Structure 1
Amino acid sequence: MSRFFWVRHGPTHAKTMVGWSDLPADLSDTAQVDRLAGHLPENALVISSDLSRARATADAIQGQRDRLAHDMDLREIHFGDWELKRFDEIEDEALIRNFWDNPGDVRPPNGESWHEVSARVDRAVARVMAAHPGRDIIAVAHFGVILTQVQQALQTGAYEAFAHRIENLSVTELHWQGGRWHAKGINHLP
């Protein structure tokens, strides 16, 4: 069995769609960061997205755990031309509504679709599991990344996966057992 502890990075406080922009995380709530670090298994390997908000969060919770190289495939959804814009700033209202209400093949201009994000994250997870079979993994990533894996564990559609909240500095625990993912906890705030 492999256990993944998906941690959403610290908050950026942005009120826009933040995908591949490299905004820093606010990790000033050291008590919450310490609770998070203490909740996670001591012998786990730590990996993160290559974006600074995920890297800094991984640094803050790593402790004595071994660290794997940052992985670009664990980046957030690439919002393309919508990057750093508020929903009400998007001119094509039908497209943005379709992107969120019917996630799948719909993509922002010059961005990526839900299916593309899911495939990218699945590749990263498969690589980590192949290289470290049976190990506990702490993966510090982003809202959309974590939801791709929640979708698989719950065997549901993307729209249903979007109904889940994934708070900053929360833990979503998924187990690989019997050839499939099982959700043991979603959006737990230690």
Structure 2
Amino acid sequence: MSVDRSWAIEFALQGPGFAITGHQIEASVNAPDSLAPLAAIEQNRSTDDMWPIMLSGDGRIVGTGSGTREEDLRAAIAQAQEIIAGRPIPASEQEAQMQYLAELQQASSSLLTRLPDDLFFPRLGPMRSVRAVDLPGGLTGEFEVTYDAVSAQEGEWLADAEREVITRIAGSEQRAREVWTMREL
């Protein structure tokens, strides 16, 4: 599944830093038919709660609105559980997959919902981190996060950034990739 979102944003001086306000102007979701219910939730998910974003004087994010709304997250989890329940697999395997889903959601939420501190004014350079996670049934997994951002040629503000989160469990691998591009309208 891939999701493309566009926002119109404005920067305003506020104290020693900046306040960024914005609103989503477009969202599109591309997903296989089997994930259509999840795609519909993502397509209709509001991102308005992420604003405003507060920046320090040197351009680092120091505060944001809330991330994903709790009701959107609950709806996505419920839909994923329904998909798992509809699979022709033994009940014990369905239960294990639901446990993995809950554990992964809890363990990955901070990796996927928190914006990089230097998103709007890149300073940190390429980053990579790996974090292990214990799962039910004695399984272990890991999350790998990579991030890189490039400043615009005209100034220190963001041109392009990319973050990838790789989830590995028992030989399987899932990737989530976010790409940000900032352009003047």
Instruction: Give the TM-score band, short-chain normalised.
Output: 0.3 to 0.5
Looking at secondary structure, tell me which structure has more strand per residue.
2
Q: Which has the higher contact order (CA 8 A, sep 6+)?
A: 1
Report the TM-score, using the length of structure 1 for normalisation: 0.33
Bigger helix share: 1
What TM-score, normalized by structure 2, do the two folds share?
A: 0.34
